[in-house]
């Protein structure tokens, strides 16, 4: 057991920094095990009082500390495991420090480390303190000049900003000097050194400046960066058009690295990407990879304004940059690939990750008010719900005031570190609205529950809507206030035609009701026929809605709702009801047939596109269904869902076969939305067919796999074969490994696929894969490919009645925590669900959490999450 309990950091205790650093010169003498870092800082006292200087510094071997050119003696400063402290300082001075660090043995992948023989850095959130002594907090903004010296075999020497000098040095070494003219917090610092190939391009900005674009990748891989480059250029143009924001340096660089704790990082002028989110070609990347690359390239690029030019005052404000940047990213992706499909995918992800978080012990507000390790708060709540909150803000103030508010925000706060309050204030000003109630969305955790019911009066042709909201308690927040919930509502008649109506005397097809009280009544007039209520269109708020709609009304929506989100949602609601009643032992076979029939009709709708139809074919995820009832019996949900899949497959067998044959890729591969949509529908059809388990489908899947001309179809075929199991699957699995063994990103897919195998016999194979020679838990991609895919996307086996799944996850967390706490902590989440599970499973899961918490020397990261999961 650990002896001292780590103390939480609180938003309420924010104090401005005692010292600011206006300028810094850093010199790196790079060596894999003994890198020297010299820092010369212009420091200025920030407050009135001469407080001691306390700078962060961890895992640094100090060489010297000097103030105004004089080396400090032992009694003039102290250095412990976390801080450099110097008392008695003047109001302004130069601080010079030199430290030694060991990048090669840095397996936490924070600070300066080595990946694939190259040096790279990751400083967000608190990694810069592992590079040099520094006030490591986002409200200290400085101008950085960086000199890098290294052996010439590290051919490219990169840092933020502009290259101002480079040259040769004796002893086979060389150097480069970079200057970043923009003020930035240290978490945006980056350095990369090594042998790389580069893909180059140019872009002219709206003011006519030319920007050089460079993407650096492993030697031989430049051809796989073309899609990322294309996505980058489209992102840059989109930000000019949508937000009037142009890029501000003459050079923009991206570097791909294989060992990376997250997806990507927005360092000023030098983004660093996990190679899985950058490299793509048809043979090795799926359509989903292409889609994610486009989204993440845009996301990191958009941070240049929302995050870098304007950053966070403290880490509690993380959603200020992340939620807003996800919102901008989603706007871009919708414009690139279609609004309805984009929205459905965003909501699926929100439900699967964020709603689950809200229902578990790790629930926290979009702006938390306390944390132990900020790394633990890069969550779906901060990112995805943070984006939803911005979307509601836009709905509430309207698009004009929203855009003006963004302009005001950029004007007012450019070059500063600020808060969520300051951001919201901009929209209060441009809209003239009082947004103080809106702020509750940032402070209150949990998913609001709303109900929408209607009473139609034929004689007066009025519809009286009753809306309610409740806000269930979450861990640490027992009582809640109502939040303003924008509920977008439209009406259909029973034939599915749009039914116009009047709200406050105005004729409309659609209206936004702001539900800001526990209960509210709204009367719509001029309603000429018995209506079907289409509420929460476009998923206008991140809430769980229940209505008193009959299945027949849902079927009207599934066939004809002009709001495509609600059309899809109606199908999901119907399917969820059918699966849950089957799981509860009350199968509704007539209902299941009717559902299959309706899905078949929707597939034949000429007006909707293939990507949308693919989404219609996919049933709610097992994890989503588990959120709807407790105690959760994962096996029952899995079996019931499979039963419905089988019934749809049998019912629509001919139709699905026709789709599978008819949608085969002809001609050249294109990663665009239309091509991806066709492949998605074809693979979804095959996936459903495989639920029948028939030999005939195994043959089709085998043919599909071996004929695949791209990775999307290869994985689609393999997945269908896995659903059926048996020798054809074994053969294809071995073939796939053999074929791609030298392609790390593809071998990740090989592990991930097997991690998702739900068959009862799979558990032995999955647990055994950690002993496979290609498994390497030091590489986060490989680790997550197996362990996260298993724990998050294979509920049937993760919740194996033996408890072996929980034990496996806990073993991995404990092992990885010894060298990479940030990544180990990101595996804890699936263990948070024990309270909602049926008791015999919940007990087994809880025991694993207790085992973790008792480990000697556990990191703060894992300790924080595991203890929260337990209480």
Confirm or reject binding of residue 115 to ligand TRP (CB under 6 A). Answer: no
- What is the C-alpha separation between 289 and 642, in angstroms, rounded? 27
300 is catalytic: yes
470 DSSP 8-state letter = E
User: Locate tokens 């091509």: which residue?
Assistant: 675
Q: Is 332 in the site for ligand TRP (CB under 6 A)?
A: no
378 near ligand TRP, judged by CB under 6 A: yes
Which pair of tokens denotes residue 789? 């895919």
Nearest residue to 844 (alpha-carbon basis) of 786, 804, 871: 804
> C-beta of 265: minimal distance to ligand TRP in Å?
4
Site string for Zn ion, 295-324 (x = CB under 5 A): ---------------------------x--
377 touches ligand TRP (CB under 6 A): no
How many angstroms separate the CA atoms of 740 and 715, rounded?
Answer: 12
Looking only at residues 273 through 312 of this chain, which bind ligand TRP when binding is defined by CB under 6 A? 299-300
Q: Which of 124, 149, 561, 592 binds ligand TRP (CB under 6 A)?
A: 124
- The reply on whether position 190 binds ligand TRP by CB under 6 A is no
Q: Identify which range of 120-128, 420-428, 454-462, 826-834 contacts ligand TRP by CB under 6 A.
A: 120-128
- The 8 Å CB, 24+ separation contacts for 508-511 are 510/537
Residue 178 interacting entry, from ligand TRP, Zn ion, none, C-beta within 5 to 8 Å by type: none
d(CA 555, CA 559): 6
**Residue 371 in contact with ligand TRP, rule: CB under 6 A:** no
Smaller CB separation from ligand TRP, 332 or 798: 332
Partners of 216 in the β-ladder: 198, 255
Shortest Å, Cβ 334 to Zn ion: 18
Binding mask 323-342 for Zn ion (x = CB under 5 A): --x-----------------
Rg of the chain, C-alpha, whole Å: 28
Chain-centre distance for alpha carbon 358 = 16
Q: How many residues does the chain have?
A: 871
Give the nearer residue to ligand TRP in terms of CB position, either 380 or 688.
380
Q: How far is the CB of 188 from Zn ion (least distance, A)?
A: 12
- Under 8 Å between Cβ of 279 and 225: yes
Q: What CA–CA distance (Å, rounded) separates 452 from 458?
A: 19
Of the pair 221, 333, the CB lying nearest Zn ion is at: 333
* Contact call for residue 128 and ligand TRP (CB under 6 A): no
* Residue 189 touches ligand TRP, criterion: CB under 6 A: no
Q: Which does 725 bind (CB under 5 to 8 A by kind): Zn ion, ligand TRP, none?
A: none
Q: Which is nearer to Zn ion, 322 or 665 (CB)?
A: 322
Residue nearest to ligand TRP (CB): 262
CA distance 803 to 634: 13
Site string for Zn ion, 263-302 (x = CB under 5 A): ----------------------------------------
Q: Which of 96, 126, 291, 300 is labelled catalytic?
A: 300
Among 714, 709, 707, 815, residue whose Cα is nearest residue 771: 815
Tell me the closest approach of the beta carbon of residue 623 to ligand TRP, in angstroms.
23
Alpha-carbon dihedral sign for residues 627, 630, 631, 634: negative
Number of residues that bind ligand TRP (CB under 6 A): 13
Question: Which among 231-239, 261-269, 357-365, 809-817 is the span making contact with ligand TRP, rule CB under 6 A?
Answer: 261-269
Among ligand TRP, Zn ion, none, residue 238 binds (CB under 5-8 Å by kind): none
Q: Which is nearer to Zn ion, 286 or 325 (CB)?
A: 325
One DSSP character per residue, 675-717 reads HHHHHHHHHHHHHHHHTT--HHHHHHHHHHHHH-SSHHHHHHH
DSSP annotation of 536: S
The answer to whether residue 327 forms part of the interface with ligand TRP (CB under 6 A) is no
Which residues have CB under 8 Å from 459's CB, separation 6+? none
The least CB distance from residue 301 to Zn ion, in Å, is 11
Residue in 35, 122, 311, 317 binding ligand TRP, rule: CB under 6 A: 122
Surface-to-core class of residue 12, CB atoms within 10 Å of its CB (0-12 exposed, 13-18 middle, 19+ buried): exposed
Q: Which does 264 bind (CB under 5 to 8 A by kind): Zn ion, ligand TRP, none?
A: ligand TRP
Burial class (CB in 10 A: 0-12, 13-18, 19+), 75: exposed
Q: Does 125 bind ligand TRP (CB under 6 A)?
A: yes
For 593, counting Cβ atoms within 10 Å of its Cβ (0-12 exposed, 13-18 middle, 19+ buried), the class is middle
Question: Between residue 453 and residue 512, which ones bind ligand TRP under the rule CB under 6 A?
Answer: none
Place of tokens 């597939």: 603
State the nearest-atom distance from the C-beta of 51 to ligand TRP, in Å: 29
CB of 62 to ligand TRP, least distance (A): 26
Could you tell me which residues come within 8 angstroms of residue 548 by beta carbon, excluding any fewer than 6 positions away?
451, 453
Instruction: Considering the complex, state which of residue 353 and residue 480 has its C-beta at the smaller distance from ligand TRP.
Output: 353
Question: Burial code of 709-729, b = ≥16 C-beta within 10 A, e = fewer?
Answer: ebbbbbbbbbbbbbbbbeebb
For ligand TRP, the binding residue among 262, 327, 740, 808 (CB under 6 A) is 262
Binding site for Zn ion (CB under 5 A): 322, 325
Residues engaged in binding ligand TRP (CB under 6 A): 122, 124-125, 261-266, 299-300, 322, 378
Catalytic residues, by residue number, are: 300
């Amino acid at each position: 057991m650990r002896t001292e309990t780590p103390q939480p950091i609180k938003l309420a205790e924010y104090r401005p920094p005692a010292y600011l650093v206006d300028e810094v010169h850093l010199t790196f003498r790079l060596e894999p095990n003994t890198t020297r870092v010299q820092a010369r800082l212009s420091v200025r006292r920030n407050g009135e009082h001469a407080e001691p200087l306390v700078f962060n510094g961890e895992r640094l071997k100090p060489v010297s500390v000097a103030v105004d050119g004089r080396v400090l003696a032992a009694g003039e400063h102290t250095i412990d495991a976390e801080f450099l402290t110097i008392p008695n300082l003047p109001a302004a001075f130069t601080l010079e420090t030199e430290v030694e660090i060991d990048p090669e043995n840095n397996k936490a992948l924070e600070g300066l480390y080595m990946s694939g023989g190259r040096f790279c850095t990751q400083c967000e959130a608190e990694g810069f303190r592992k590079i040099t002594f520094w006030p490591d907090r986002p409200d200290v903004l400085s101008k950085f000049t960086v000199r890098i010296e290294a052996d010439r075999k590290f051919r490219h020497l990169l840092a933020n900003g502009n290259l101002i000098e480079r040259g040769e040095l004796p002893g086979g070494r060389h150097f480069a000097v970079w200057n970043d003219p923009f003020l930035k917090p240290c978490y945006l610092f980056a350095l990369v050194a090594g042998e790389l190939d580069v893909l180059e391009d140019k872009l002219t900005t709206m003011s006519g400046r030319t920007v050089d674009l460079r993407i650096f990748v492993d030697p031989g891989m430049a051809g796989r960066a073309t899609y990322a480059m294309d996505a980058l250029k489209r992102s840059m143009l989109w930000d000019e058009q949508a937000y009037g924001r142009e890029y501000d340096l003459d050079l923009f660089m991206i570097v791909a690295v294989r060992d990376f704790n997250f997806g990507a990082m927005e360092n000023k002028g030098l983004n660093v990407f996990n190679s899985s989110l950058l490299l793509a070609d048809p043979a090795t990347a799926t359509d989903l990879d292409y889609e994610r690359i486009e989204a993440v390239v845009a996301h990191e690029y958009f941070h240049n304004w929302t995050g870098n030019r304007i950053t966070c005052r403290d880490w509690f404000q993380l959603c200020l940059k992340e939620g807003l940047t996800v919102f901008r990213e989603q706007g871009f992706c919708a414009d690139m690939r279609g609004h309805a499909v984009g929205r459905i995918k965003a909501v699926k992800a929100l439900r699967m990750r964020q709603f689950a978080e809200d229902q578990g012990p790790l629930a926290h507000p979009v702006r938390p008010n306390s944390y132990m390790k900020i790394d633990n708060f890069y969550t779906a709540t901060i990112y995805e719900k943070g984006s939803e909150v911005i979307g509601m803000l836009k709905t509430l103030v309207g698009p004009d005031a929203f855009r003006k508010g963004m302009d005001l925000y950029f004007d007012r706060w450019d070059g500063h570190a600020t808060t969520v309050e300051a951001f919201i204030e901009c929209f209060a000003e441009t809209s003239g609205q009082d947004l103080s109630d809106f702020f509750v969305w940032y402070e209150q955790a949990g998913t609001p529950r709303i109900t929408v019911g209607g009473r139609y009066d034929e004689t007066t042709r009025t519809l009286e809507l009753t809306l309610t909201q409740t806000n269930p308690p979450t861990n640490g927040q027992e009582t809640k206030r109502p939040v303003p919930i924008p509920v977008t509502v439209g009406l259909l008649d029973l034939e599915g035609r749009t039914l116009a109506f009047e709200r406050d005397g105005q004729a409309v097809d659609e209206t936004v009701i702001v539900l800001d009280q526990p209960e509210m009544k709204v009367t719509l007039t001029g309603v000429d026929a018995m209506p079907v209520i289409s509420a929460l269109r476009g998923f206008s708020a991140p809430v769980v809605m229940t209505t008193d709609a009959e299945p027949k009304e849902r079927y009207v929506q599934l066939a004809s709702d002009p709001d495509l989100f609600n059309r899809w949602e109606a199908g999901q609601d119907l399917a969820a009801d059918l699966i849950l009643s089957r799981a509860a032992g009350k199968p509704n076979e007539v209902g299941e047939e009717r559902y299959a029939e309706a899905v078949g009709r929707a597939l034949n709708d000429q007006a909707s596109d293939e990507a949308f139809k693919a989404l219609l074919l996919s049933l709610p995820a097992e994890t989503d269904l588990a959120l709807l009832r407790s105690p959760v019996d994962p096996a029952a949900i899995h079996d019931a869902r499979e039963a419905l899949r089988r019934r749809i497959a049998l019912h629509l067998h001919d139709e699905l076969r026709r789709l599978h044959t008819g949608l085969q890729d002809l001609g050249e591969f294109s990663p665009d939305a239309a091509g991806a949509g066709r492949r998605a529908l074809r693979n979804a059809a095959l996936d459903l067919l495989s639920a029948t388990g028939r030999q005939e489908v195994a043959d089709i899947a085998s043919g599909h796999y071996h004929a695949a001309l791209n990775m999307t179809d290869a994985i689609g075929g393999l997945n269908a074969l896995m659903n059926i199991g048996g020798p054809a699957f074994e053969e294809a699995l071995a073939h796939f490994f053999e074929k791609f063994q030298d392609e790390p990103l593809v071998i990740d897919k090989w592990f991930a696929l097997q991690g998702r195998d739900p068959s009862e016999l799979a558990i032995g194979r999955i647990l055994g894969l950690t002993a496979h020679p290609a498994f390497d838990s030091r590489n986060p991609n490989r680790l997550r490919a197996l362990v996260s895919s298993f724990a998050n996307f294979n509920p049937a086996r993760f919740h194996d009645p033996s408890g072996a799944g929980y034990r496996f996850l806990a073993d991995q967390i404990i092992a990885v925590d010894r060298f990479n706490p940030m990544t180990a902590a990101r595996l804890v989440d699936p263990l948070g669900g024990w309270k909602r599970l049926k008791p015999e499973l919940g007990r087994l899961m809880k025991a694993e959490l207790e085992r973790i918490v008792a480990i000697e020397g556990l990191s703060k990261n894992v300790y924080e999450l595991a203890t929260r999961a337990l209480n």
